Amino acid sequence: MAFEFIAAELARRQEDSLLRRRQLIEHADGRCLEVAGRRYLNFSSNDYLGLAHSDELKAIATRCVSDWSAGSGASPLVTGHSLAHARLEDYLADLTGRDKVLLFNSGFAANQALIQSLMAKGGHILADKLSHASMLDGALATQARLQRYRHNDMQHLSELVLKVDGDTLIMTEGVFSMDGDKAPISRLCDIAASCQALCYLDDAHGFGVLGPQGIGSAEGISQHALPLLMATFGKAIGTSGAFLAIPATVHDYLVNFARHYIYSTAMSPLLAAITLESLKLVKGQAWRREKLSENIHCFRHLCQSAGVPLMASDTAIQPVLMGDAERTLTLCQIMKNNGLWLTAIRPPTVPPGSARLRITLTTAHSRDDICKLVKVLAQGLNGDK
């Protein structure tokens, strides 16, 4: 029989406690969610600033609905590029200090578009070992040679750059999505400059959250030092989609050669308009970043007192490393039994033997929420030993 691998692969995943399933979220309000009629505190959301379900963003969406259409009707090069898109692009170019911005329906598409177009003719790609799947898939679809340097290891990267010549792209995440630690961006830029490589930053988890104005991991770093910047709207900004902030020549090149951009319907104008207003909130409401920092500090402090082992992260992503996938699922279930929603992250999303609970903190959590989380976590870990 053809396609026998489908059933076999699913059975293998099930046996290894690695089978993935979606959960139907029946209701969500930022702090909590409901699944199968039960309410949980949500510690699994990337809506770091608590904007997605906020009254402010809902009011903005209601206002925008009368001015903008839900669908763009065509790809950007046909008739899909509207005033809503142009305004969002101009705002982002100004905010990030880059020449130009291009919008995408997802961060996955933006990563693929940039990497595949820029490296179509070959060359070298040096990527942090923990780079997101969309970056690695983009790299694997090119003629370029992909080499992965050890996570955040600038010594290893410096050794690799000595052995490459020609067009070289160095790429990293700003805040690593599964570990929560940050890349040493200034060092990366220096290394890129030393070998005339281009530096590419995927700041999906830093944009909106890091930097005094929420510009992200690259706030204050010039286009000259860091020419290629990507960030998403689906996390701290509370909507969805993504953008590339890039030099004018790269912009023109992508408009002509990036297949993900050319052959895909442009982002919804309504979404672009809402996203622009959300970005203004993010910039103006520093209190959301401050509250998030307080929550992170509170969580880490309570965990240290309760003997919960943490990873070296000072961001909203606070993983609890378990190692074994089955143990991680068991702890996840204990948390759920106590009304706490967390996600077990297992291979192949993370390397074998490094399954973990990925806790995400947001502005919407209260101190009491975090106290409850740490208490149940400590009990669960102790019972688990």
Ligand X SMILES: Cc1ncc(COP(=O)(O)O)c(C=O)c1O
Residues classed as catalytic: 46, 132, 173, 177, 202, 205, 235
Pick the stretch among 102-110, 183-191, 321-329, 360-368 that binds ligand X (CB under 6 A). 102-110
Closest distance of CB 132 from ligand X, Å: 4
Shorter beta-carbon distance to ligand X: residue 113 or 303: 113
Report the residue closest to ligand X, judged by CB.
107
Shorter beta-carbon distance to ligand X: residue 114 or 302: 114
Give the distance, in angstroms, between the CA of residue 223 and the centroid of all CA atoms in the same chain. 21
Q: How many residues bind ligand X (CB under 6 A)?
A: 13
For 266, the token pair is 């442009």
For 267, the token pair is 């982002």
| Amino acid identity at 215 | I
Residue 207 backbone dihedrals phi, psi, to 5 degrees: -65, 130
Is residue 177 close enough to count as binding ligand X by CB under 6 A? yes
Residue among 204, 229, 211, 217 at smallest CA distance from 360: 204
Closest distance of CB 241 from ligand X, Å: 7
| Cβ neighbours for 369, distance < 8 A, ≥ 6 positions apart | 31, 41
H/E stretch holding 329 reads helix 325-337
Interaction pattern, residues 204-223, with ligand X; x per rule: CB under 6 A: x-------------------
Residue among 215, 205, 226, 219 at smallest CA distance from 107: 205
Taking the C-alpha atoms of residue 107 and residue 267, their distance in angstroms, rounded to an integer, is 12
Shorter beta-carbon distance to ligand X: residue 112 or 334: 112
Is residue 96 close enough to count as binding ligand X by CB under 6 A? no
Is residue 360 close enough to count as binding ligand X by CB under 6 A? no
Is residue 108 close enough to count as binding ligand X by CB under 6 A? yes
Interaction pattern, residues 122-161, with ligand X; x per rule: CB under 6 A: ----------x-x---------------------------
Closest distance of CB 259 from ligand X, Å: 17
Is residue 232 close enough to count as binding ligand X by CB under 6 A? yes
Closest distance of CB 47 from ligand X, Å: 12
Is residue 275 close enough to count as binding ligand X by CB under 6 A? no
Closest distance of CB 203 from ligand X, Å: 8
Shorter beta-carbon distance to ligand X: residue 174 or 380: 174
Is residue 362 close enough to count as binding ligand X by CB under 6 A? no
Is residue 242 close enough to count as binding ligand X by CB under 6 A? yes
Strands (E), the chain: 27-28, 32-35, 38-42, 100-104, 124-128, 145-149, 168-173, 198-202, 228-232, 242-246, 317-323, 340-341, 343-345, 355-360
Shorter beta-carbon distance to ligand X: residue 239 or 295: 239
Residue 112's alpha-carbon distances to 168, 230, 258, 364, in angstroms, are 16, 11, 9, 32
Cβ contact 88:275 at 8 Å: yes
Is residue 106 close enough to count as binding ligand X by CB under 6 A? yes
Provide the 10 A C-beta neighbour count for residue 331: 23
Shorter beta-carbon distance to ligand X: residue 68 or 176: 176
Shorter beta-carbon distance to ligand X: residue 107 or 380: 107
Taking the C-alpha atoms of residue 5 and residue 28, their distance in angstroms, rounded to an integer, is 37
- Binding positions for ligand X, rule: CB under 6 A: 106-108, 111, 132, 134, 173, 177, 202, 204, 232, 234, 242
